Chains A and B, each alone.
Chain A
Amino acid sequence: MSLAQQTAPAGTGVIVRIVPAALWAGLAIVTGQIVFAAMTSAQADWLGLTLSALTLFLGAVVASYSSRYMRADAAPGTFFVRLAGLVASVVLFLNSQTLIGLAVGWIASGLLLAALIGHKGGWAEARAAQRRTLRCFIAGDMALLAAFGLVYLSTGTVKIAVIGTAFAAGAPATAIAVSALLLVAALTRCATPPFAQWLLSSMTAPTPVSALMHAGMVNAGGFLLIRFAPVIEAAPAIRYAAVALGFLAAIWGIGIMAVRPDIKRSLAGSTVSQMGFMIMSCSLGAYAAALWHILAHGLFKAWLFLNAGSAVGMRAERLPALEPRMVVAVAAITLVAGSVMAASGTAGTEMVPLLLAIATGAATMGTIVFARIEIGSRMALAGMLIVLAVVHTLGVGVAQAIVPASGTALLPAPYAILLLAAFLGCWVWQMRRVARQESLPAQLYVRLLNLGNMPATNAGDRS
């Protein structure tokens, strides 16, 4: 009675082994390029290189993970080829110096991602999710192509590097049209409402695909906005719209995360929120903050997704919250500090992300200090928090070295303070509710819970 199983066809086995190796090799090459460029201070496309390194790192981790995770898949060969194609097309558009290369990579990555969402092709729900994603991406791709067409018509060049200068002097109407189209393209990839549904119903994708999608793919929108910052800066109206949409997505996504009972869609809500914040930062002109957010959030979210199998344990105590009184105090102080900065004229484009980061650190530190645990433990946790703060500061520093220090400020100081106050106000409201175990208002709750649900599929859909 031979129980030993037979191995998969040889070709598939080779692909399964080659793809992770190739991605690690790609990461090594890009890292080498970065090190070389840094040491020789040579001219380099830092934005493209850094994001390529992130994408290749996530791709390589996901591929290595998948070589175990996807071992029993019905079509591992297809899976790994698509995965490699996805990473390659993203790297292509990140590094492309022309509109053509960018568009090709952009569109290809969308098609491949949609195909991976529908990887379980026999499953109607997966096919529906794939179609939904495709529809959204095609809309975004159309917008992107239209924007590029307009750019070419008005500047006569496809070289991205010279487009910016051309636009600074160009007609504002064209700038507005191009910026609006680019924003639509970015929002479809960032899953920012009204384009969030595809991401919220993409749980039919195998876990590693979700990890790559939430960590690597959704960033494409942010990349686009930074790449074409000079164009968009010529259209303040579009920037205002983007700030508003980004802010709403940031809060809305938190709401989705808060009501979801399942781990994966809860993480998807978080992605909607984080990408909204990133779009908002970008549009405020805080490019360095946005870039650091892209890099760090990518790592953060990939880790949470790949670790999603660990969520089975049941928590014994009630849900944790930051000490609400601490949050109130910190919010108030932050607001005052912001106002002082604004009044003294030291508030830059990065004020909102920066002050929120400081507030987060302060509220967490406050909670640690007053936590009912041993003094030694409190010291240890405080130490950990300080390490995190240092890492964060260094990260923002690195990002500042990569992108042009910061763009032109968009919001007048009082409006920036209002924006800050909106975040802090929501936070205080939310933490008090969590601490008191209160639910959201019924109507809002139902609305948030239903987001991303698939339209009804037909009965008996099964072979």
Chain B
Amino acid sequence: MNMHAPLVATDSLLTRTEVAGLVALAARTVPPLWPLESAIAVNPLAGFEHLPFAQAVKQAATLFGARTSLPVTGWRNLVERGRIDERALRDAAIGHLGGVYGAMINVAPGVMAIDLLMARLLEEERSKTEDVASCPVPDAAFIAKWCAAFFDQSISASPMPNRALGLYRAVLSLARYDGEYASLAGRQGQTLLLTVPRDPYEAIAEGLAECGEGREPLDHLSSLVARLPGWAGHIRWRTEHADRERVTSAPAGMADLLALWLLLERADALSEPAGHKQTTAAGHWLARHFALDPNRLDAAKTERFNAIASLDDGALGAIFMTAAERTLSNRLVPKLTGAARSAVRDERADAQVVFCIDVRSEPFRRQLEQLGHYETFGYAGFFGLPMALHPAGGGHRKRLLPVLLSPQHDITEAPVDGKTGEAHQIAAEESRAAKASDLFDAAKLGSGSAFATAEATGPLAGLAMLARTMAPRLADRNRNRREARRQQSLEPRLDCSVSNARGNGFSLSDKVGYASALFRLTGMKPDTARLVVLAGHGGSAVNNPYAAALDCGACGGHAGGSNARVLAAMLNDPDVREGMAEQGFAIPQDSWFLAAQHDTTTDAVTVFDRDRVPQSHRAELTTLEANLAKAGKANRARRATLLDRTPDDLLTGAAHWGEIRPEWGLAGNAAFLVGPRHWTSGIDLEGRAFLHSYDWQQDPNGEALTTILTAPMVVAQWINCQYLFSTIDNDRYGSGDKVTQNVLGGIGVVQGNGGDLKVGLPRQSLFTDDGTAFHVPQRLLTVVLAPLKRVQAVVEANDILARFFGKGWVQLVVIDPQTGKALRWREDCAEPDEGTIIHSITC
């Protein structure tokens, strides 16, 4: 953690500015945690990305009390099921032993080092470890309780007193009434309540001076931040990413949280940080298993024997993970090198469809491509539009863009021309529903009205339960119809955006810029097909706290249809086309752009604004829609086997309020492929790859590649790491079992009665019903089809890329389009190979 000049606590207190600096640095221990209604995947170890991967995992595990790897039994399950090749595992084990020579060396007569290691990996007796939720320790429970009460946005009717004072001061004002504080902090704690500074920064300074003897202040604060990573992450979201108006009622920063922790520490109420028990006494087992007597080995052999016998689960897990990564690259890279010189079909396609790079698009694209001469593309699902949408009927604006960016344009949702009446009706219905739900909430809360409310609404609730349980699709149909009607009568309007309060709508040059970016980045040729569909995506799950995690991450955890509609509208605008032509992107007169949305849970595709399609294109649209439906059906059947259910049941699950796993989401994600579609179209990627279209020939100076690798790929890495770490320790880096989760409105979930806000993904998103990992924890494999020199220049010019590839967070393979040769980026710590930064993996 010692990444900056050490600040040493002396007798004198740190100044406020110094403390503020330390707090800001310590805050980076955890990544921001977005509320579940707009869930964003983040790497729980984002604060450790400056370290090599293995080291980061280890340090974070110590700090967070987490595991460093999936338990060995979990890995073995994956090997048994063929998800990890045994040969790849052997190769990885050999690699661990320093190559073939080190592996073949005899530890005892007839027993080679590799035999010992393989036995430990696959055969050593292991008790089955059950993944159980941890319980908050009293000090953490105290702070978590107050965080929940303070930050609550919607569930409690009676807000926490003194909230306007900020978290720290509000808790100070209440703690003297809190019996839990009294038993935790004792008499000293009561005295402290009266004497500690009211300013959190000053309180931190005092706390550090009192409790920080001999400790680096930054490390000290970082370890405190890491005690409740969920709430600390929530605070980071509030201070760095939330719209102001959403957080003003409860002002709090990381300093408040740290001041509370130091209050407890000064009262001597901190518990020992939780650690993970590591049992490694494999020596006896190994000796027995190979019938050898370790005492009779010579010194060198004993050393080798002990080195293998003392490998902990983290080290064994690292071998398994390497094996998983090799399993994928051994299967994928040869196919990709083989297809490197594939040629594009030159005739004009029947239609072109641009999908999100999301791993769930790939299998759908494959199905669609088989049904006609359809050309598909992968592009970030927000379609390059950094916008926020203000929904009709009020409510918070939705930030429909990746969290790396901030909104540049505020768009209003307004009635479609000619549908004002219907839009008005929808608005009235919505306000009526909102009023009814407000009345219900108010009535069920009142001490005079709560009882009659329950009695009067009970029978209706009974009918609703019956319908939603026995006929969920019927019960859900109304909601779907309403949603469909809403989509038809309301649209994100480009022209009213200028008139809104923020006054930052799209100018013509903006529009031309965003419209041509599609072609610049994806390498799509301007001679487009007669129909071009821009397909965003979203999931459909009911009664599911993690529904937004199924939506488009590039759209800030929302469905991507609105962005697609805005870009399609731009691309159909004659003025925009004129401007594009001046930049060299002359789109044929007869091309029509359409927006659509792919429902990843049901595989249905909704096409927007159909009635604007010119008469001349109607027949083609009908054919295309029929084929989209066919592709959806085929893809649903494919996904059904993965979920171990019938295809029809997926439709039921999408509407059923009890469905715990409506779809697999991005589970399985493992690769990020940058290149034209004809390069990958012959390979079944099994829904495990993000596909970003790219044509190196149209990107001579590497600008597009820079964008692709520094934006969409970074997001893919966040997703990949979220899945990876949520899988290896579902309690600490994930959110545990969904069935015992308890929702905090507008914020997230806790487990059971309370405790830290949960981060990451729930168990059901990652593991199959029998407890085997469905998501194989492995690091992202990025494969770029482009000349080596260009890739190298891009990577070296961008620190984040050099770090990702150099420190082993992402593996980079570059395939040269001319030679078809594959080269792997060498990690910083690996042995230099002939002095180059890249070494060949084809030989």
Stretch of A187-195, A230-238, A318-326 lying at the B interface: A318-326
Q: Which of B764-819 contact A (CB under 8 A)?
A: 764, 767-772, 774
User: A380 interface residue, CB < 8 Å from B?
Assistant: yes
Q: Which of A259-299 contact B (CB under 8 A)?
A: 259-266, 270, 273-274, 277, 292-293, 295-299
Cross-chain contact B465 with A299 (CB below 8 angstroms): yes
Given contact pairs A69-B660, A311-B745, A442-B174, a sample of 17 additional A-B residue pairs in the complex whose CB atoms are under 8 Å apart: A5-B772, A68-B660, A125-B133, A250-B447, A259-B149, A263-B742, A263-B744, A274-B454, A277-B450, A292-B455, A314-B246, A316-B394, A320-B439, A320-B442, A360-B453, A457-B136, A459-B272
Q: How far is the CB of A318 from chain B (nearest CB, A)?
A: 9
Pairs A–B under 8 Å by Cβ, sample size 16: A3-B774, A5-B772, A65-B657, A123-B740, A251-B447, A261-B151, A306-B657, A309-B545, A319-B441, A356-B451, A374-B428, A391-B459, A392-B455, A423-B448, A430-B446, A459-B272
Q: How far is the CB of B167 from chain A (nearest CB, A)?
A: 13
Stretch of A133-141, A177-185, A402-410, A432-440 lying at the B interface: A432-440
Cross-chain contact B450 with A449 (CB below 8 angstroms): no
User: B191 interface residue, CB < 8 Å from A?
Assistant: no
Q: 7 tightest CB-CB pairs across the interface, nearest first? A: A296-B458, A314-B746, A427-B448, A320-B438, A261-B152, A122-B132, A303-B461
Cross-chain contact B137 with A64 (CB below 8 angstroms): no
- Within the complex, which residue of A207, A297, A304, A460 is in contact with B274, where a contact is CB–CB below 8 Å? A460
Q: Which of B695-716 contact A (CB under 8 A)?
A: none
Number of residue pairs A-B, CB distance < 8 angstroms: 411
How many angstroms between the C-alpha atoms of A66 and B656 in the bound complex?
A: 11
User: A206 interface residue, CB < 8 Å from B?
Assistant: yes
Known contacts: A57-B462, A453-B753, A456-B137. The answer to whether A314 contacts B454 by CB under 8 A is no
- Within the complex, which residue of B149, B443, B464 is in contact with A364, where a contact is CB–CB below 8 Å? B443
User: A229 interface residue, CB < 8 Å from B?
Assistant: no
Give A274's nearest chain B residue, CB to CB: B454
User: A454 interface residue, CB < 8 Å from B?
Assistant: yes
Cross-chain contact B180 with A453 (CB below 8 angstroms): yes
Residues of B within 8 A of A462 (CB): 132, 134-135, 274, 731
Number of chain B residues close to chain A: CB under 8 A: 131
- Within the complex, which residue of A6, A61, A371, A460 is in contact with B770, where a contact is CB–CB below 8 Å? A6
Cross-chain contact B461 with A302 (CB below 8 angstroms): yes
Cross-chain contact A68 with B743 (CB below 8 angstroms): no
Cross-chain contact A261 with B149 (CB below 8 angstroms): yes
How many angstroms between the C-alpha atoms of A368 and B435 in the bound complex?
A: 9
User: A312 interface residue, CB < 8 Å from B?
Assistant: yes
Cross-chain contact A461 with B742 (CB below 8 angstroms): no
How many angstroms between the C-alpha atoms of A442 and B274 in the bound complex?
A: 33
- 0 or 1 for each of A357-369: is its CB under 8 Å from B? (1 = yes): 1011101100110
Residues of A within 8 A of B82 (CB): 1-2
Cross-chain contact B161 with A277 (CB below 8 angstroms): no
Cross-chain contact B451 with A61 (CB below 8 angstroms): no
How many angstroms between the C-alpha atoms of A360 and B457 in the bound complex?
A: 12
Stretch of A80-88, A167-175, A381-389 lying at the B interface: A381-389
Residues of B within 8 A of A452 (CB): 753
Residues of A within 8 A of B451 (CB): 250, 274, 277, 293, 353, 356-357, 360
How many angstroms between the C-alpha atoms of A391 and B458 in the bound complex?
A: 9
Residues of B within 8 A of A5 (CB): 642-644, 768-770, 772, 774
Residues of A within 8 A of B138 (CB): 456-457
Give A321's nearest chain B residue, CB to CB: B442
Residues of A within 8 A of B743 (CB): 262-264, 308-309, 311-312
Residues of B within 8 A of A453 (CB): 141, 145, 180, 753-754
User: A165 interface residue, CB < 8 Å from B?
Assistant: no
- Within the complex, which residue of A125, A277, A322 is in contact with B752, where a contact is CB–CB below 8 Å? A125
Q: Which of A373-402 contact B (CB under 8 A)?
A: 373-374, 376-377, 380-381, 384, 388-389, 391-392, 395-396
How many angstroms between the C-alpha atoms of A79 and B746 in the bound complex?
A: 31
Q: How far is the CB of A272 from chain B (nearest CB, A)?
A: 11
Cross-chain contact B134 with A461 (CB below 8 angstroms): yes
User: A228 interface residue, CB < 8 Å from B?
Assistant: no
Q: Which of A172-228 contact B (CB under 8 A)?
A: 201, 203-208
How many angstroms between the C-alpha atoms of A152 and B47 in the bound complex?
A: 70
Cross-chain contact A457 with B129 (CB below 8 angstroms): no
- Within the complex, which residue of B177, B443, B444, B465 is in contact with A447, where a contact is CB–CB below 8 Å? B177
User: A450 interface residue, CB < 8 Å from B?
Assistant: yes
Known contacts: A4-B642, A71-B660, A316-B394. The answer to whether A265 contacts B130 by CB under 8 A is no
Name B's A-contacting residues (CB within 8 A): 35-37, 65, 81-83, 129-130, 132-138, 141, 145, 148-149, 151-163, 173-174, 177-180, 183-184, 246, 271-272, 274-275, 277, 327, 331, 394-396, 428, 431-432, 435-436, 438-439, 441-462, 464-466, 469-470, 542-545, 547-548, 641-644, 653, 656-661, 668, 686, 731, 737, 739-740, 742-754, 763-764, 767-772, 774
Q: Which of B174, B274, B469, B658 is packed against the most chain A CB atoms within 10 Å?
A: B658
How many angstroms between the C-alpha atoms of A311 and B459 in the bound complex?
A: 22
How many angstroms between the C-alpha atoms of A9 and B731 in the bound complex?
A: 26
Cross-chain contact B462 with A303 (CB below 8 angstroms): yes
- Within the complex, which residue of A74, A296, A319 is in contact with B459, where a contact is CB–CB below 8 Å? A296
Give A122's nearest chain B residue, CB to CB: B132
How many angstroms between the C-alpha atoms of A430 and B65 in the bound complex?
A: 44
User: A327 interface residue, CB < 8 Å from B?
Assistant: yes
Q: Which of A51-82 contact B (CB under 8 A)?
A: 57, 61, 64-74
Cross-chain contact A388 with B457 (CB below 8 angstroms): yes
User: A310 interface residue, CB < 8 Å from B?
Assistant: yes
Give A439's nearest chain B residue, CB to CB: B161
Residues of B within 8 A of A306 (CB): 465, 543, 657-658
How many angstroms between the C-alpha atoms of A423 and B446 in the bound complex?
A: 9
User: A313 interface residue, CB < 8 Å from B?
Assistant: yes
How many angstroms between the C-alpha atoms of A1 and B132 in the bound complex?
A: 29
Residues of B within 8 A of A391 (CB): 456, 459-460
Residues of B within 8 A of A296 (CB): 454-459
Residues of A within 8 A of B455 (CB): 292-293, 296-297, 300, 357, 392, 395-396
